[in-house]
Amino acid sequence: MKVEELSRLRPGSGRRIWCVAWHFSGDVLASSGEDKTIRIWKRTPNPPYFECRSTVDDSHTRAIRCVAFSHSGNLLASASFDGATVVYALEDSDYTESNKLEGHESEVKWVAFSPSDEFLATCGRDKSVWFWQVNHEDDDFEVVSVISRHTQDVKFVGWSPVEDLAVSCSYDGSLNFYQFDGDEWKTTQTIKEAHTGTIWSAAFDSSGKSLVSVGEDRHVKLWTRQSENPTSSEQWIRMASYAVDDTRWPLYTVGWNNLNGLIAVGGGDACIRIFDVAKVDGCETLRLLQKLDDVHSDEVNAVAWNPTQANLLASASDDGTIRLTTIDI
């Protein structure tokens, strides 16, 4: 495996960066963090290949935990510890605040658009997952469902890339799956004790049939979908589990490359580990391919594979930098 640093981006504040997210074109990256600022980085022909073209620093009053682009690229959303989710619309090549979604009682931890961009999911400290529907006539967002199935803090909510199916990860150690019944969002499956302790993140593969999750217990777990019948209570079952045993710190983030199938996992030990799924004796297993221990000097909070350039990984860290790394098999 050939690993090279393409670029290191250092937002001025030097403070913890919580999140990085790609625009579908692969040419624009958004970052957010403790400095309450969203930065939009655009690809340029010369080193460092990405340049901060605009910043938004007046939409939130506390740390911005998460940023996400819509799949059309026309919208950007941010989730903050201040309890609000803010949506920005693309106008004259800049993202400007268009909606403020309020309702969560306290910190919002994650936000993500559904593959069709019709729905937005948010989750937070108040143990709930909210599904918002975009009304394209007046570009407003309406609450469709508020689901409080978790017994603790909900850390993450993510979507299948191919259908309106969402998953949430919680401090309570469980995974919840959700589907839309045409009227409201329903919990289709709860996997209790999916991990021991907090589940920090999860990611689907390109087919939407497999999922990986990572957590405080330093395990990477692979889940596959056995049935597409939403009334089946065992749609998802665990296929494989990999214990990362050379660290004592949680695994915080996972990204599944939808172009080449590689899985990147970032954690509290400042390392990024690259996995793939291999068939051994007919069974799917997680295989550690490489451990990158010199990309960041502090905890890795987010990893994101570029959606068009298969070998490009962006990562965000407590060391105050965003790294762009090329990883070729």
Partner 1 sequence: MGNERLDNVAPTLYNTKPRERPKTKEEMDENVEDPIDAWEIFDLIRDINDPEHPYTLEQLNVVQEELIQVHNEPKETYVEVQFTPTIPHCSMATLIGLSIRVKLMRSLHSKVKFRVSITPGSHNTEEAINRQLADKERVAAALENESLINAIDQCLSVRE
Nearer to partner 1, 40 or 123 (CB): 123
Report if residue 125 touches partner 1, rule: CB under 8 A. yes
Choosing from 26, 103, 197, 230, the residue that interacts with partner 1 (CB under 8 A) is: 197
Q: What is the 3 state secondary structure string of 1-53? A: CEEEEEEEECCCCCCCEEEEEECCCCCEEEEEECCCCEEEEEECCCCCCEEEE
Nearer to partner 1, 29 or 271 (CB): 271
Site size with partner 1, rule: CB under 8 A: 26
Distance CA 118, CA 105 (A): 24
- The string of DSSP letters for 28-41 reads EEEEEETTS-EEEE
Cβ–Cβ < 8 Å for 37, 11: yes
Indicate the helix (H) or strand (E) that contains 169. strand 165-170
The distance of Cα 312 from the centroid of its chain, to the nearest Å, equals 16
* Closest-CA residue to 52 (of 63, 43, 61): 43
Q: Which stretch binds partner 1 (CB under 8 A): 97-105, 136-144, 254-262, 295-303?
A: 295-303
Choosing from 231, 248, 280, 282, the residue that interacts with partner 1 (CB under 8 A) is: 248
Nearer to partner 1, 83 or 307 (CB): 83
Nearer to partner 1, 148 or 297 (CB): 297
How near is the Cβ of 259 to partner 1 at its closest, in Å?
30
How near is the Cβ of 57 to partner 1 at its closest, in Å?
16
Nearer to partner 1, 21 or 134 (CB): 21
Choosing from 319, 322, 323, 327, the residue that interacts with partner 1 (CB under 8 A) is: 319
Work out the number of other CB atoms within 10 angstroms of the CB of residue 288: 14
Cβ–Cβ < 8 Å for 266, 327: no
Report if residue 49 touches partner 1, rule: CB under 8 A. no
Report if residue 85 touches partner 1, rule: CB under 8 A. no
Cβ–Cβ < 8 Å for 52, 39: yes
Distance CA 151, CA 193 (A): 12
The distance of Cα 14 from the centroid of its chain, to the nearest Å, equals 22
Contact flags string 199-238 toward partner 1, x per CB under 8 A: -----------------x----------------------
Cβ–Cβ < 8 Å for 7, 47: yes
- Structure token digits, residue 309: 């350039």
Report if residue 35 touches partner 1, rule: CB under 8 A. no
Place of tokens 């960066």: 17
Distance CA 308, CA 265 (A): 20
How near is the Cβ of 51 to partner 1 at its closest, in Å?
27
Choosing from 31, 34, 236, 272, the residue that interacts with partner 1 (CB under 8 A) is: 34
Choosing from 127, 174, 299, 302, the residue that interacts with partner 1 (CB under 8 A) is: 299
Please name the residues in contact with 218: beta carbons below 8 A apart, sequence gap of 6 or more: 243, 244, 245, 247, 248, 249, 250, 251, 267
Nearer to partner 1, 153 or 205 (CB): 153
Q: Which stretch binds partner 1 (CB under 8 A): 88-96, 103-111, 179-187, 259-267?
A: 103-111
Contacts with partner 1, residue ranges (CB under 8 A)? 16, 34, 62-63, 65, 81, 106-107, 109, 125, 153, 155, 171, 197-198, 216, 248-249, 268-269, 293, 297-299, 318-319
